[in-house]
Amino acid sequence: MRTTMPKPGLKIGLVSVSDRASQGVYEDKGLPALQDWLAAAVSTPFSTVSRLIPDEQAQIEATLKQLVDEEGCGLVLTTGGTGPAPRDVTPDATLAVADREMPGFGEQMRQISLKFVPTAILSRQVGVLRKQALILNLPGQPKAIKETLEGLKDGEGKVVVPGIFAAVPYCLDLIGAAHLDTHETIVKAFRPKAK
């Protein structure tokens, strides 16, 4: 009889992409927003590896590769650099290191943001798979990060538009990453019922 070792807790890579924040011109708000949200939403043990880097495609690609290939992150969340400006190259770098694209994540992020601003259609956020990891490009503002991950709720707390994180745990299951559960009061993970 063969026994399998339990997988260690999930390691999550966090990347804030900003020329000015990486140079110390102003304080980065993306990494703290991601860390705070994950601490509130994720109920299983996890650790994070954080990087604050400039809008340089080669550096973003190298960082994403390092987080997945060397650090062993099963989930990588980026923030910043997803617009149409010439320096916004996070999606380009993410696609360059991808094995496969997961277009539903970008579509849903734009759907959520469109509830607030018509310029959401300018966002180029993507979701991709690299090896046994899911990489997601999130917006740059803390409020938008929370809305994108968590979804939109009505006054009674009922989900009106699902956030993308509801699909993340099942995606991680399917690609063979470490198991992740959430606090349902923040975001309810969806997994199909076993037959």
Residue 38 has pLDDT above 90, yes or no: yes
pLDDT tens sequence across 130-145: 999 999 999 989 999 9
Instruction: With respect to residue 194, please indicate whether it lies within any of the assigned structural domains.
Output: no
CATH number of the domain enclosing 151: 3.40.980.10
Instruction: With respect to residue 183, please indicate whether it lies within any of the assigned structural domains.
Output: no
**Axis-axis angle for helices 142-150, 103-114 (nearest 10):** 120
pLDDT tens sequence across 162-195: 999 999 999 999 999 999 999 999 999 999 987 6
Q: Between these two residues, 22 and 142, which has the higher pLDDT value? A: 142
Instruction: With respect to residue 110, please indicate whether it lies within any of the assigned structural domains.
Output: yes
Residue 23 has pLDDT above 90, yes or no: no
Instruction: With respect to residue 153, please indicate whether it lies within any of the assigned structural domains.
Output: yes
CA–CA separation, 151 and 90 (whole Å): 23
Instruction: With respect to residue 88, please indicate whether it lies within any of the assigned structural domains.
Output: yes
Residue 7 has pLDDT above 70, yes or no: no
Sequential DSSP letters for the chain: ----PPPPPEEEEEEEE-HHHHTTSS---HHHHHHHHHHHHB-S-EEEEEEEE-S-HHHHHHHHHIIIIIS--SEEEEES--SSSTT--HHHHHHHT-SEE-HHHHHHHHHHHHTT-GGGGG----EEEETTEEEEEE-SSHHHHHHHHHEEE-TTS-EEEE-GGGGHHHHHHHHT-----B-TTT-PPP-PPP-
Instruction: With respect to residue 102, please indicate whether it lies within any of the assigned structural domains.
Output: yes
Write out the residue range of the structural domain in which residue 168 sits: 10-175
The pTM for the full model equals 0.93
CA–CA separation, 46 and 14 (whole Å): 12
Amino acid at 64: L
- Single out the residue of 143, 122, 151 nearest to residue 29, CA to CA: 143
- pLDDT, residue 26, reads 87
Q: Which residue has the tokens 């304080």?
A: 27
- pLDDT, residue 5, reads 41
Residue 20 has pLDDT above 70, yes or no: yes
Radius of gyration of the chain (CA): 16
CA–CA separation, 190 and 195 (whole Å): 15
Instruction: With respect to residue 148, please indicate whether it lies within any of the assigned structural domains.
Output: yes
Number of domains in the chain: 1
Per-residue pLDDT band for 3 (boundaries 50, 70, 90) equals very low
CA distances from 103 to 26, 91, 100, 157 (A): 32, 12, 9, 28
